[in-house]
Structure 1
Amino acid sequence: MTRALTDSATMLRRQLRHIWRYPALTLTAAGVPVIFLLLFVYVFGGTMGLGIDTTGTDPRTAYANYLAPGIILMTIVSGAQGTAISVATDMTEGIVARFKTMAIARVSVLTGHVLGALIQNLIAIVLVIGVALLVGFRPTASPLQWLAVFGVLTMLGFAVTWLSAALGMVTNDVAAASNLPMPLLILPFLGSGFVPTESMPTALRWFAENQPFTPVIETLRALLTDAPLGDSLTRSIAWSAAIALLGYLWAKKLYNRDPGK
């Protein structure tokens, strides 16, 4: 256990050096959510906000407050592509084969990738929140609620990152690996990230209310606006734990497979 922790810390330092040397990767992870944020607030916000809030609040401000939690979550999904590319690159360029011949804990290589990507995602999330504040997002969360927000984001980010690490090893082609996490970007649209699920047709509404990202978005929205949590936090924890376990076991199996397979 001591060696595994030490080796994981070494691999984490390796990933942090990559983040420091290539800041464009972090900016890219934040770029997609920021584009969607600006597009929906300034192009659709005036109309969408009228249906979100009927109390007389400025429509764009009302929609920015509704939209921000989904955009913040999308930052984690956007970062999943970078994780898949990073893992796939290591797997195809031979460095992992060399690591496997060294006296290091095997789990440390993937752990370094996951923790490094998680830190990168949190940096990107801070950037996205900063832009959201500039375009009208006005959260009412207390410091303790903000701490809970980052706790929920860290929990989901850890889970999605393990899944994306596994996706990065499914294929031996880096370009193909970069495309595998892309379907995850659709889920915030098919949830409560952009419009209330009540406005959707019955079948789509059922899917939206029972997919993994909706309870996380609702938890973030409740914490940021000081609204009742309901059972969304419990469901968020359950989904995050299930995704993390699936991602970890799948990634471990793929990492330990024979090189020829």
Structure 2
Amino acid sequence: MSLSIQGKTAIVTGAARGIGFAIAHHLAERGANVVFTDGDEAALDNVMSDYGSDNDHVLQFAGDISEKLMMANLLSATLDAFDRVDILVNAHRFVKGSDPLDTDPGVLEQMLRQNMIAGLRLSQMVAKRMIRQAEDQTDLVQAGAIVNVSTLAAARPVPAMLGYSIACAAQEQATRGLALALAPHLIRVNGVRFSSVMSYELKCALKEDPQMREQIVAGTPLGRIASADEIAETVHYLASEGARFVTGQIVTVDGGRSLADPVTARDL
């Protein structure tokens, strides 16, 4: 089983912090050309400063990819730098609370646009490029791999985060639908659903409520909070040819939490 991604080109959204950054950094460390993209330009500049200006295997792209023109610019910048795209990781997440009995339509629309629609449109755009790249190749194992990142809120409702929960569930259904649509083109589409992971959002929550750490650990059968790198390792597997017969799957990485404890906003 080959997990090599050496020489592959990957686009990772939400790459300025937390899990998105961990994924992008992990893929770059394993020899992939990686485009780090995020809407927060200042945060992106900060993390990219460690790579140096002479690193020709990484590229940063700042912009709101929920805008169609910005998506096109992202793909163009990727092709200009690396000539192709082999892997797309939709790791961008926008988390905001919402009243379950009086959800502001604007908030719900924002949740859907940022957490599902943007990733779906980018996946469609990138998939078309992957198909063109594969037209003149024979004996392909895969023409490309797309991985979507969501949370346990997709499967178990979080009333205080109703809009976000709906968006995560929609994203996972889009993962399954695209997997079927793109399978004839040898493009695989999978998802990673996480909880009990030290995400950027969880770090912020723990600063406000340090006791939350004990609650999470107590409710997690494996007895700890995972690092963002552990999500990156799962994404790496799904993006590699080692997972060449895996598509349309949502891999849950939560230390068993979904088996044992109700989901709350702290799991997002």
Larger Rg over CA atoms? 1
Q: Same fold (TM over 0.5)?
A: no
* Greater strand fraction, Structure 1 or Structure 2: 2
What TM-score, normalized to structure 2?
0.30
More helix by share: 1
Ranked by relative contact order (alpha carbons within 8 Å, sequence separation 6 or more), the top structure is 1
